[in-house]
Structure 1
Amino acid sequence: MSAAGASIGVITFPGSLDDGDARRAVRRAGATPVALWHADADLHGVDAVIVPGGFSYGDYLRCGAIAKFAPVMTEVLRAAEHGMPVLGVCNGFQVLCEAGLLPGALTRNAGLHYVCRDQWLRAENTTSVWTTRYEPGAELLIPVKHGEGRYVAEESTLDELEGEGRVLFRYVEDNPNGSSRDIAGVTDARGRVAGLMPHPEHAIDPLTGPTDDGLGMFLSALDTLVPA
């Protein structure tokens, strides 16, 4: 299968606002983006799924708490159980945590202020489906924009994530939201489901973003979907 033959679905919930950017990133990486609607009862044969940023269902109950009940998420959970790669970005990370695909929760930023800026990250896990293009310890400049991005979990869960190498990215130089242990993103035990608060889809071209450092995440997934 050629790269163009690989398809990556991008979900749109009412209130999503980064779905178009995520589809653009998929296209730039060389795969075919497929628009998935929150009410879809199937995934239309895609090879991977991205749950994008925004304010799904207006965040009226709790960030991601309503979206986890959307019909499309039933299919995402089923597909993830069978090994389909899934990436959650910002609100998508919140959705994956609420749905139980990733541990922990995202809470109000320390200081209770919305943060929007370019942020340095360090790649901690470079063996997940979404991070193989990065060198261990590589530092990336990727935008963040959120009001509820403080990652928290029980100390035992944090210890488990650290011990199993499941911390995907860590904030460096400055922690924008007070996340426990500077965690910016995590992965599941198989390295196929991942979530992060920063926005790699906004860093795929130096012309429109601070860098193209985020493109490596989409290329990494494509490497798995289309082996050399």
Structure 2
Amino acid sequence: MTVSVIRFGGSNCDRDAVRALEHLGVDAEIAWHEDGLPADTEGVVVPGGFSYGDYLRAGAMAGRSPIMAEIRDRADDGVPVLGVCNGAQIGCEAGLTPGAFTTNASARFQCERVHLRVENADTLWTAAYDEGEVVEVPIAHGEGRFEVGEDAYDDLVADDRVLFRYCDADGEVTDDANPNGSTGAVAGILGDSDNVAVMMPHPERATLPELGLTDGQGVLDAFA
């Protein structure tokens, strides 16, 4: 599989994503957004960073860029698409998933390790885990608070489209374990189809053994 990692002006996790994917034996390359998707693209990662300097709001401008229309078309054809951190913000802005990401409840940038509970292990993105398993991955965001209307949230839960929730080390979902105030402590969700996912934590920063964490590897295994 050839995975295109999209680079916008302000992206800063694109090379991290490529290295993590190559560690798993996946052919990955950076694609500059203005050049469009390479013809051989079989998977897409929209990585973290500060696309367009987060002008207007995080992900707003990139979410309306021409390449996102191409990505939506590929997603409709079944190509796996993953948005991480700023990529998750972009994915929501582009309509790949419901909801939006807003300023953290703390009103400050947070860079730390967090625990996630696997809510649905029967997906492309979580097949490497067990339901209820607790994994540890890093976050690094100022606008990571997932917000969604009550009805839309109920639909996400009813349709089993919540992938991860923030939790403590024992798997308990508590206010203290929710680093940004996300609705329902949601850390990652599926789009309308199972081949599309967005998540605020960084699995690519928890894949290489030399970084001290490998729990995120299971997410990227979707491309292997």
Same fold by TM-score greater than 0.5: yes
Among 92, 100, 103, the alignment partner of 2:98 is: 103
Unaligned regions of 5+ residues in structure 1, if any?
A: 1-5, 223-228
Aligned residue for 2:11, secondary structure, equals coil
Could you tell me how far apart the structure 1 residues matched to 2:58 and 2:137 are? Answer: 22
Are the equivalent residues in 1 in contact too, given 2:2–2:41 (CA < 8 A)?
yes
Give yes or no for the alignment of 1:136 onto 2:148.
no
128-137 or 144-153, larger mean C-alpha shift:
128-137
Could you tell me how far apart the structure 2 residues matched to 1:120 and 1:144 are? Answer: 10
Aligned residue for 2:137, secondary structure, equals strand
Among 6, 11, 15, the alignment partner of 1:16 is: 11
Per the alignment, residue 94 of structure 1 pairs with: 89
Per the alignment, residue 71 of structure 1 pairs with: 66
Distance 1:205 1:42, change over 3 A: closer
Among 28, 32, 51, the alignment partner of 2:46 is: 51
- Equivalent residue runs for 1:149-168 within 5 Å: 149-168=144-163
Shift of 1:130: 1.5
**Which digits, 9 at most, give the CA deviation of each residue in 1:166-197, with x for residues without a partner?**
00100002000000110001002321100000
Shift of 1:45: 1.2
Shift of 1:131: 1.4
Shift of 1:160: 0.5
Shift of 1:207: 2.1
Are the equivalent residues in 2 in contact too, given 1:34–1:46 (CA < 8 A)?
no
Runs of 4+ in 1 over 4 A off after TM superposition: none
Could you tell me how far apart the structure 1 residues matched to 2:81 and 2:201 are? Answer: 16
The percent of aligned pairs where both chains have the same amino acid is 46
TM-score using structure 2 length? 0.93
Unaligned regions of 5+ residues in structure 2, if any?
A: 169-176
Aligned residue for 1:159, secondary structure, equals helix
Aligned residue for 1:156, secondary structure, equals helix
Aligned residue for 2:30, secondary structure, equals strand
Report how many aligned residue pairs link the two structures: 216
Per the alignment, residue 212 of structure 1 pairs with: 214
Per the alignment, residue 32 of structure 2 pairs with: 37
Shift of 1:18: 0.3
